[in-house]
Amino acid sequence: MIELKSVTKTYGRKKVLNNVSFTAEKGRITCLIGINGVGKSTVMKAIMNLTPIQSGHILVDGQPVGKSTYEKVAFIPDTITMPPQMKIGEALTFMKDFYSAWNEQRAEELLKFFRLNRTDRIANLSKGNAAKANMLLGLALDVDYLLMDEPFSGIDMFSREQIADVFTSHLVEDRGVLLTTHEIHDVEHLIDKAVLLDHGAVLKEFDTEELRESEGKSVVDVMREVYRG
């Protein structure tokens, strides 16, 4: 489980995360929801220890983020970070050489799943294929938790559907996924848990299925209540 306990983060004098607490469990898809600038990416970066926090704790399977947790979590940012001149095949070789957690078999499977070509240069990929290649680089790592920043942003409907299929496949399996979105319609049918953020604070954390069963409400219904008061 990934646990955030009263996490506070400031950039200069600006408080970006204010006492943020929530959990993301293994085997479940948790979604951080909020409009642009509420702090979703900052949460991801904090979990990866890419940005320091001022107070609070972040634990992965009970361990504070650090050396012992780096092999457990992969971060898939909202844009591909490989050099644009690299071909997809070269990017895969780079990942294999660099990460002991690289799973070559899964990488091959994902290449076929997304219908990507090894010889295509990253710079020449369409937006949708760049997003798929980016996702492949993270999903092919044998880690327990995957953090995905806006995996559906700016992508056409068919590519979105293909990426969505990954979430329900054995390629995600029993891993824990924490993803962010500002567009709930893209992910509503996929997620097990929602965490609503506003101005760096958690407004509500809930199990989507539980809420549907107990109160007959969709994630959008809850968002209307919470954000519109």
Ligand X SMILES: Nc1ncnc2c1ncn2[C@@H]1O[C@H](COP(=O)(O)OP(=O)(O)OP(=O)(O)O)[C@@H](O)[C@H]1O
In the complex, the residues that contact ligand X under the rule CB under 6 A are 11, 16, 34, 36-42, 182
The whole-angstrom separation of Cα 163 and Cα 140 is: 14
State which residue, 182 or 217, has the beta carbon closest to ligand X.
182
Least distance from ligand X to the Cβ atom of residue 81, Å: 16
Task: Give the residue among 181, 175, 138 at the shortest CA–CA distance from 160.
Answer: 181
State which residue, 88 or 178, has the beta carbon closest to ligand X.
178
Least distance from ligand X to the Cβ atom of residue 12, Å: 7
DSSP 8-state assignment for residue 12: T
Tokens 């506070």 locate to 8
Least distance from ligand X to the Cβ atom of residue 41, Å: 3
State which residue, 27 or 37, has the beta carbon closest to ligand X.
37
Least distance from ligand X to the Cβ atom of residue 16, Å: 4
Residue 189 and residue 159 in contact, taking contact as beta carbons nearer than 8 Å: no
Least distance from ligand X to the Cβ atom of residue 107, Å: 27
State which residue, 90 or 198, has the beta carbon closest to ligand X.
198
State which residue, 32 or 107, has the beta carbon closest to ligand X.
32
Helix axes 104-113, 127-139, angle to 10 degrees: 160
- Alpha-carbon dihedral angle through residues 203, 56, 77, 97, given to the nearest 10 degrees: -150
User: Residue 101: phi, psi to the nearest 5?
Assistant: -85, 0
